[in-house]
Chain A
Amino acid sequence: DARVTQTPRHKVTEMGQEVTMRCQPILGHNTVFWYRQTMMQGLELLAYFRNRAPLDDSGMPKDRFSAEMPDATLATLKIQPSEPRDSAVYFCASGNSGAADTQYFGPGTRLTVL
């Protein structure tokens, strides 16, 4: 049963600390997305990659957020320094371009910044 995995599932940290979230996309998928979900803003697309190359990161605050794909099996989202307003659930999704553009979501990382 192929699925997207994310670690950690929960993270509590203090303001100013660095946070790294990891995602393993479904094997064979060539597109990876990072979303943020909050009650106020709903689902926001932060960044996405195709074949490991960043295609769009316009949704991401550039001064503190960075997203990378060191290899095809790992995507990372880093926040440095973290702020209380970053508290949210961060989802990774993967898909294959051309396969009806379907995206499959991971379980999310719930981040709380104190």
Chain B
Amino acid sequence: GEDVEQSLFLSVREGDSSVINCTYTDSSSTYLYWYKQEPGAGLQLLTYIFSNMDMKQDQRLTVLLNKKDKHLSLRIADTQTGDSAIYFCAESKSSGTYKYIFGTGTRLKVLA
């Protein structure tokens, strides 16, 4: 199938690290993405990783990609209350059609 799976909820304390996980199915995906959605807003592109990389770091964000297990994770260091949102992973379709398959989203709640 074409499922991208994420756990539904994650709760962390302010200042801790958050790790949001995602498993995907298309081993030939070229790019994988992380988006953030705050209440009442659109999806904001946070970062993406090319499939021939296994790690990408961008300030407080670290993306890890395990192609063998088709597992993607997003680590947020020093999590702040402003990081509370829904996080979606997505994979681009391999056929060059530029279509994404989105995960179900993980709701991150940061406790003060």
Contact of A56 among B33, B41, B44, B99 (CB under 8 A): B99
Greatest chain A CB density within 10 A among B33, B44, B45, B50 is at B45
**CA of A55 to CA of B97, assembled, Å:** 8
CB distance A100 to B98 under 8 Å?
no
Distance in angstroms from B34 CB to nearest chain A CB is: 11
CB distance A105 to B98 under 8 Å?
no
Binds A, one of B16-24, B64-72, B74-82, B100-108: B100-108
The answer to whether the Cβ of A108 comes within 8 Å of any Cβ in the partner chain is yes
Distance in angstroms from A41 CB to nearest chain B CB is: 10
The answer to whether the Cβ of B43 comes within 8 Å of any Cβ in the partner chain is yes
CB distance B98 to A95 under 8 Å?
yes
**CA of A30 to CA of B35, assembled, Å:** 21
- Please give me the residue from chain A that is nearest to B92 by CB atom: A101
The answer to whether the Cβ of A78 comes within 8 Å of any Cβ in the partner chain is no
CB distance A31 to B43 under 8 Å?
no
CB distance A103 to B100 under 8 Å?
yes
Contact residues of B: prevailing secondary structure: strand
CB distance B98 to A48 under 8 Å?
yes
CB distance A42 to B102 under 8 Å?
yes
CB distance A106 to B50 under 8 Å?
no
Distance in angstroms from B63 CB to nearest chain A CB is: 13
Interface residues of A in 68-114 (CB under 8 A from B): 91, 93, 95, 97, 100-108
CB distance A42 to B31 under 8 Å?
no
CB distance B102 to A105 under 8 Å?
no
Interface residues of A in 3-38 (CB under 8 A from B): 4, 31
Greatest chain A CB density within 10 A among B41, B44, B99, B104 is at B99
CB distance B102 to A91 under 8 Å?
no
The answer to whether the Cβ of B88 comes within 8 Å of any Cβ in the partner chain is yes
List A residues at the B interface (Cβ < 8 Å).
Answer: 4, 31, 42-43, 45, 48, 50, 55-56, 91, 93, 95, 97, 100-108
